[in-house]
Amino acid sequence: MKRESWKSRIGFIFAALGSAVGLGSIWRFPYIVGENGGAAFILLYLICLALIGFPVLISEILVGRTTQSSPAGAFSQLGRSKGWKWGGKLTIATGFIVSSFYSVIAGWTLGYLVEAVLGNLHKFKLSDDALVHFTNLSASPLWTVGFHVLFITICCLVLLTGVRKGIELGSKIMMPLLFMVLLILVVKGMSLPGASQGINFLFSPRWDLLTPSAIAMALGQAFFTLSLGQGTMVTYGSYLSQREDIPRSCIPVVLLNTLVGLLVGIAVFSIVFSAGLTPSSGPALIFETLPVVFSQISWGYSLAVLFFVLVTIAAITSEISALEPAISYLMDEKGWSRKRSTFTVAFGAFALGIPSALSFSSWKNVTLFGATFYDIVSNLSVNFLVPIGGFLAVLLVGWRWGIQPAFENLKTGSVSFFQDRPYLASYFRVCIKYTAPILIVFILLNLLGLY
């Protein structure tokens, strides 16, 4: 079977950007910026992107492009041992696990899009009403599992049509749409009375809030937002032609992803502060605070619909990228057709997602050390498996394959890029070989509480 490939470099950029921009950039990034020092945190985050996110992204794409193979084949080719193949398989498994619970939360956003269209999200007088509405919906197994299956079915339809027609074309249509919706939200948000307070919350630098935990958070965010450590970028790199310029293809992804996070922050905090509310964190911000805001401002109905269109699109392009490594593995290693691989992986992610979906209702009390199934799989994968996957990628490139041959390979397609900027060559070598692995070990030790 001939390996699929991107039709154009722009197609790759849109697909990788679609993967990066997701729930992590939309609800997590703006909130942690506001909570952890505003502009001071943004600076820290940018440093983390430069020292760890960008070099790991380049390494993963390079591994994929060089081997033209799924992460398992890629790791075993360059690592030349069974152990490395298992490393590759671990990253695929991580992507698969992430896709299972990611689809549950994405299902809520789809459900909230339906709520917004039905006009149910702009009639709350008190924040308690919005909270009760959300608690009732998320406590209904029919609602959570129903939207989980609907969301995964949509992703399955995109994936069935393949790399070019499905992922590439889908991202090329959905990403510009996302930017348009986002711009409307930003303009409307900033024109609301009191919006400037929200912008202050986001951008005024508060250096005293830069604690060690803020540093770990900035590193973790840089990782998750670029979809690293879970086979996604290795797989997307494997659809890239050998002649393609890797650094030039990745720079727009990193910059635009950061821009989206900041723009969402401006839109959300302008809207929240204009209603005289204080922002809450994580899911509560989207599902509990924003509906109260939509109920109080003019244009509430349209803003609610637009906002949930935005989040749902972002979630679709991310979910498909988390499912694709496992699909590509089954096609490469088992010789299965795309159709059979897609159905199998999507069904598996759906099934594994059910206990996560039920963790908010009937399985709420099924816990281990006080953590529900959802808590366990999401924390385990995001906090441990993802950094381990990224660590394996830089270890493979910097030490096992060898930084010298790896760098020679990276220069294919990028000769002019490095000729014009010779200093970047040392930057990549040092970051891939030393800085990124050391910083990842720092995150892991920090999370284990060993430090």
Residue 41 contacts ligand PFF per CB under 6 A: no
Residue 227 contacts ligand PFF per CB under 6 A: yes
Name the minimum Å distance from CB 321 to ligand PFF.
Answer: 5
Name the minimum Å distance from CB 67 to ligand PFF.
Answer: 19
- 234 SS3 class: helix
Q: Which is nearer to ligand PFF, 48 or 275 (CB)?
A: 48
d(CA 72, CA 264): 36
> What does 15-50 look like in DSSP terms, one character per residue?
HHHHHHSSHIIIIIHHHHHHHTTTHHHHHHHHHHII
Q: Helices marked H in 191-299 — which ranges?
A: 195-203, 212-225, 232-238, 246-274, 282-284, 290-296
From candidates 36, 109, 171, 225, binder to ligand PFF by CB under 6 A: 225
Contacting range for ligand PFF; rule: CB under 6 A; set: 150-158, 220-228, 234-242, 365-373:
220-228
Q: Which is nearer to ligand PFF, 107 or 300 (CB)?
A: 107
Name the minimum Å distance from CB 98 to ligand PFF.
Answer: 5
Structure-block tokens of residue 130: 């919005």
Residue 20 contacts ligand PFF per CB under 6 A: yes
Task: Tell me how many residues contact ligand PFF (CB under 6 A).
Answer: 16
d(CA 252, CA 419): 20
Which distant-in-sequence residues (6+ apart) come within 8 Å of 309 by Cβ? 113, 177, 181
Measured at the CA of 86, the angle between CA 82 and CA 91, to 5 degrees, comes to: 150
Chain positions 94 to 123 lying near ligand PFF, rule: CB under 6 A, are 95, 98
Q: Which is nearer to ligand PFF, 124 or 308 (CB)?
A: 308
- 279 SS3 class: coil
Q: Which is nearer to ligand PFF, 95 or 387 (CB)?
A: 95
Residue 88 contacts ligand PFF per CB under 6 A: no
Q: Helices marked H in 162-231 — which ranges?
A: 162, 169-190, 195-203, 212-225
Residue 25 contacts ligand PFF per CB under 6 A: yes
Name the minimum Å distance from CB 37 to ligand PFF.
Answer: 21
Q: What is the contact surface with ligand PFF in residues (CB under 6 A)?
A: 19-20, 22-25, 95, 98, 224-225, 227, 230, 232, 318, 321-322
